[in-house]
A and B are shown apart, each in its own frame.
Chain A
Amino acid sequence: MTNAVETRGLRRTYALDRRAKTGRSEVVALHQLDLEVAEGSVHGLLGPNGAGKTTLCKILATVLLPTEGEVRVFGRDVRTQTRKVRRDIGIVFGGERGLYTRLTARQNLHYWCALYGLRRPAVRARTEQLLERVGLVDRADEKVEGFSRGMKQRLHLARGLAGDPRLLLLDEPTTGMDPVSARDFRSMVDELRREGKTILLTTHDMDEAETVCDVVTLIDGGRVLAAGDPRSIGALVSRHERVEFDFVGPVAETVRDLLDLPGVVGCTSVSPGRHRVETADDDATKAALSLLVDRGATALTTSRPRLEEVYLKLIGDRGMAVR
């Protein structure tokens, strides 16, 4: 499989305002970043505010130049083959901006289709196709300023698809969307993946990343911290399966018995009355479950470490701070 995106030693710095008197002349947004996004995949980019996600998207969108390093989109250099790269990419923001709100949805799409080189009959046909796709046919002639957040986001997606791009950059596309709209949006992303589009998704939503992404990359401070399948990336935290349970009354004896079982590697309390057993294999999990049922434990669940845990472990809890 070829790569839709490839960065090698990508570095981007921003000059700092001298008046800020920080003692630094520049800030490093991306630090020797190496990244590969396979063609046809949905690749999640996760990281806290200031991690470098948007800087990377800006470079791929050709609105920002790399300071150093190499960036290729479908093998084309973003620095020297800018026009060709632009024909292959579509951008979708989250939020209110990026649309002509005094125009109708249809007028917005006509315009963007024309900017991507379509002629009049193709502009009309593609606009109708996109409106159909995002479910806005019935509202196509209403001004965008009257649209709900979810409708605007669908229009954003349609606009991003105006040029039939091979690579779609989705920058926090479900920000501020209600759960139903967000779910619909994710199913549209899934459809696009089935059509063979490559999608680079930046998000803060771990569930979203786990649901739609084939691969996730965690970045912070402009560096890649980890990358992998979101369903198996939990191995970075623990390779063990977990059994969680609620227990009323003294639990010490049950914990001792659990630890005596072969393949049980640990037992900890995760909150008052709730405990977690870690097991090395399926047999150990079965044995632990059987013992816990016998002892009257309730609310039993089995799981593996989730992406959110990996994120918190690697990024750390920094509260509201931005680097």
Chain B
Amino acid sequence: MALRYSLRVVRYSAQNAVADFAATYTWKSWLFGWLGRMLSQVVFFTLAGRLLGSPSLHRERFVGNSVMTCVVEAMMVVASSAWERRAGTLPLLVSSPAGLFEVFFGRSLQWVVSGTATSFVALLALGPFFGVHWAPAAVPVVVVVLLVTSLGSYCFGLFLSVLVLQATQLRNIVSNVSYLAMMTFCGVQVPVGYWPAPIGWVAECIPITHGLRAMNALAAGGRADMVGQQVLEAALCGVFWVLVAAAAFRLLAERGRRDGSIEYSA
């Protein structure tokens, strides 16, 4: 019963997210504005990598930056969660019978869908220009890897959004710094092994690290079990972050009730 109610809250919050997304973008502004911008970013970093680095890493850099686009968009959950505080809806959400985590989990899911679509277009449309070709049988697997990576990153972003809900002025800084850190340390621009071991251990907890390995293996025609293992590890990272985020949202509400930090005014 409680689970059904929680799922219903997530579903309606997601509908709210879709409506919000439709109010933000038209199909033209998404296609020629957002998608165009992200494809340009993929091309820029891939070409920059080709000029500065080893040609052997060329394909990995293209795959990395293409997958990164879904993470960039998933991390927008950090900023969009803070909108609730600015809109004055946070106290209403806290005082409703719905759980805060379920509400916020559904409330920004538009970024996961849009991000997955962006990465998918980047991988398939730009791939041939950078020597990456996808067999028809691999295409559904590409979607699965992207969805798992995007959703896992979204869960990580949800955790960060709890911190930002307490300091909304930091919403864009936290969002940008976190995805730039992922670009730097999680294998997008340079292999994870390039960095000192402690950084590598932290990177292993971030879903994109495993999502990228899975996508690179898929692009190189690697074995299915190898791809599957990395997808599973990315999913486990996502589950870890979703649990951390759920606990953090509960603490946020409890702390807010104790210290009065949940504003309640017109």
A contact residues vs B (CB 8 Å cutoff): 14-15, 54-55, 57-58, 61-65, 83, 86-87, 89, 91, 93-104, 107, 110-112, 114-117, 119, 123, 143, 159, 163, 171-172, 175
Contact = CB atoms under 8 A, between A and B. Distances in A.
Contact of A171 (B5, B260, B266): B266
B103 interface: yes
Nearest to A172: B266
Contacts of A171: 264-266
Contacts of B257: 62-65
A86 B96 contact: yes
Contacts of A15: 259
Taking chain B's interface residues, is the majority helix, strand, or loop, or is none over half, making it mixed?
helix
Interface residues of B, number: 33
Contacts of A65: 257-258
Interface in B65-119: 87-89, 91-98, 103
A274 to B, nearest CB: 37
B12 interface: yes
A39 B5 CA distance: 29
B95 A86 contact: yes
Interface of B: 5, 8-9, 11-13, 15-16, 19-20, 23-24, 87-89, 91-98, 103, 256-260, 262, 264-266
Given A65-B258, A123-B12, 10 more contacts: A14-B260, A54-B265, A57-B264, A64-B264, A100-B20, A100-B87, A102-B23, A111-B15, A115-B93, A116-B96
B17 to A, nearest CB: 10
Contacts of A143: 23
Contact of A62 (B11, B95, B103): B95
Contacts of B262: 58, 63-64
Nearest to B94: A63
Nearest to B259: A15
B98 A97 contact: no
A91 B264 CA distance: 10
B97 A115 contact: yes
B266 A94 contact: yes
A99 B98 CA distance: 17
B87 A103 contact: no
Nearest to B9: A115
A15 B91 CA distance: 20
B95 A97 contact: no
B251 to A, nearest CB: 14
Contacts of A93: 88, 264-266
A103 B95 contact: no
Contacts of A91: 91-92, 95
Contacts of A94: 266
A63 B266 contact: no
Contacts of B91: 58, 61, 63, 91
A63 B219 CA distance: 51
Given A64-B257, A64-B260, A86-B96, A107 B19 contact: yes
B266 A96 contact: yes
B264 A63 contact: yes
Contacts of B11: 114
B25 to A, nearest CB: 12
A116 to B, nearest CB: 6
A119 B265 contact: no
